Structure 1
Amino acid sequence: MKHAGAASNRDWLGLKGRVCAVTGAGGGIGAEVARQLAEAGARVALLDRDLDNVKGVADAIAKTGADVMSLACDVTQADSILQAATQIEAAFGSVTLLVNNAGVLFADALLDISLDKWNRLLAVNLSGYLLCSQVFGRQMVAAGGGSMVHIASISASVPQPYGGAYSVSKAGVMMLSRQLAVELGAQGVRSNVVSPAMIRTPMSEGIYANPDVRERREQIVPARRISTPEDIAGAVLFLASERADYISGQEILVDGALTQAWLGLIPRPGFEKQDAEASSVA
């Protein structure tokens, strides 16, 4: 969506003054995306089911002088989203950037997961994205355009065993984004996905509490580190910005080249690092 005044060097991303809604903004990726959007000059509404957490994040951002607000919002409930959208519009104007980020993760084998647990995860991770896209998408269409960025996962393309409905939900997010891009493109609305791989957030902190597990994970990533919310937020801001004005229906995978390393993890005598080093010396 083009806005009055092209992005200058001081506002390279063209986000200054944009009205943005970020779901699941009480911590992790959502909180960092909100912080970076505010730093770029956007007016940011932080939405989360936990009002105390999201208010704390918003208060910290507000100390920088940014325009922010925090709202309790349950993304599984259309009425809750509509109420939040109405409040944002009254305070800041129409939302022209939505970051769908709220998510949950339950461990379960597919043969054992209850339908209730399956539906609860899909309600947040997939149906919640649809409901937010509907409510805020209507504001974007009325405003003449906008941008949606949906947080998916490497698990959308690579199955995560014993993750219950998680991989299925994230694969659904990928197709939801593509379909939104096609259906709303003529109204000036773009839709894209950012997919993290291994990332350290409050939701995954239990995994990284064990230093042995953390080190083993770091060793299989070519970048030799686990990603951070800052890594993901940078990709989100780019896709949200005027610099990505002709990019829609796409995915940015933020994985430190993990998905390119699978063959290197398979034993292949004669084609391993020590073999290559010995060959070069010879």
Structure 2
Amino acid sequence: MPGSAKLSRWSGHTCRAVEAVEMATVQELLSLDGRVSVVTGGSAGLGLQMATALAEAGSSLVICGRKLGACEDAAHELDKIGVDVLPVRCDIGIPEDIDELRQAAAARFGRVDVLVNNAGRAWFTLPEEMPLDRWRQVLDVNVTGTFLCSQHFGRMMIAQGKGKIINIASVSGLLGKRPEIHNSLAYNTSKGAVVNMTRDLAVKWARHRINVNAIAPGFFLASRNRDRFEARKDLILGEIPLGRPGSGHDLKGPVVFLASDASDFVTGAILTVDGGVTAW
């Protein structure tokens, strides 16, 4: 009978009954009311775009970055949406900073439901000229920093019995890039590592009801890359089937989806938001 039916699901040779659940509306599934989200590198660019989306969906926020003033300015704007926002200075390349970020989030909100690992670095040069210290810096932030943030906040989520981790990878971590367009071997290598970290961590923490997914953006125009875009505009747009860079809202829907109950059966996925670059 509706509302009391049981479904049989096979797992190997074991059959177990799963209680049918009440259907939720799309609005309910996508709502983040009552949730707490941490966004690293959340004071500008793609991080701020995603933080804004999470706030618009109802989530309280912790945003962090290396410059506290920039975080405070972003928090002031996000406050206007009507959610609680905590700005924190944190360099995820420094393990002690990550621990302090976790403590600040726990002290203010008591829990963290969503972690967006957005903070990252890049260094552009020919592979044969890459300085070792820059290589290590990029890997320390993009890979080790992402792991440590996931570990610290993952422990909280394990204790809570649920959580969502969203890593920000890149299409550059999925394929080789022409040097005329994107000459950053360290960045590309680090994002490839984030892709497989996402998949493996999703398997490891599925038992704790922690969903681990990644968004792999393509080229998004920002103040830091505008000069590079103007110098290589035809080459860059020539790689994008949709013929344009990512906009100021193209990551909003994907991050809310992956942060919300709408993605409860999605884990280990790499969601490309690239205008079709990886579809060639």
TM-score > 0.5, shorter chain as reference = yes
Question: Structure 2: which amino acid aligns with 1:246?
Answer: F
Counterpart of 1:195 in structure 2 is 216
1:58 alignment partner, one of 46, 55, 75: 75
TM-score between the two structures when normalised by the length of structure 2: 0.86
Tell me how far 1:229 sits from its aligned partner: 4.2
Q: Summarize deviations over 1:134-168 as a string: whole Å, max 9, x none.
A: 11101111111101000100111112343130110
Evaluate the alpha carbon distance shift between residue 57 and residue 253 of structure 1 in structure 2; reply closer, same or farther with a 3 A threshold: same
Q: Aligned partners of 1:82, 1:155: CA distance in 2, in Å? A: 29
Q: Aligned partners of 1:122, 1:203: CA distance in 2, in Å? A: 20
Q: Aligned partners of 1:113, 1:218: CA distance in 2, in Å? A: 27
Q: Which moved more, 1:35-44 or 1:108-117?
A: 108-117
Structure 1 runs, 4 residues or longer, greater than 4 Å off: 5-10
Q: Aligned partners of 1:38, 1:6: CA distance in 2, in Å? A: 25
SS of residue matched to 1:21: strand
Q: Aligned partners of 2:134, 2:122: CA distance in 1, in Å? A: 10
Q: Summarize deviations over 1:96-151 as a string: whole Å, max 9, x none.
A: 11000001111122222121110001111111100100111011111111010001
Matched, 1:29 2:46: yes
Counterpart of 1:177 in structure 2 is 198
Higher-strand-fraction structure:
2
- Give the number of equivalent residue pairs: 255
Q: Aligned partners of 1:75, 1:51: CA distance in 2, in Å? A: 14
TM-score between the two structures when normalised by the length of structure 1: 0.85
Tell me how far 1:215 sits from its aligned partner: 4.8
Q: Which moved more, 1:235-244 or 1:200-209?
A: 200-209
SS of residue matched to 1:191: strand
Counterpart of 1:163 in structure 2 is 184
SS of residue matched to 1:175: helix
2:270 alignment partner, one of 237, 247, 251: 251
Question: Structure 2: which amino acid aligns with 1:75?
Answer: I
Q: Aligned partners of 2:271, 2:113: CA distance in 1, in Å? A: 20
Q: Aligned partners of 1:230, 1:164: CA distance in 2, in Å? A: 28
Question: Structure 2: which amino acid aligns with 1:184?
Answer: W
5+ long unaligned stretches in structure 1:
262-282
Aligned-residue RMSD, C-alpha: 1.8
Q: Aligned partners of 2:54, 2:152: CA distance in 1, in Å? A: 21
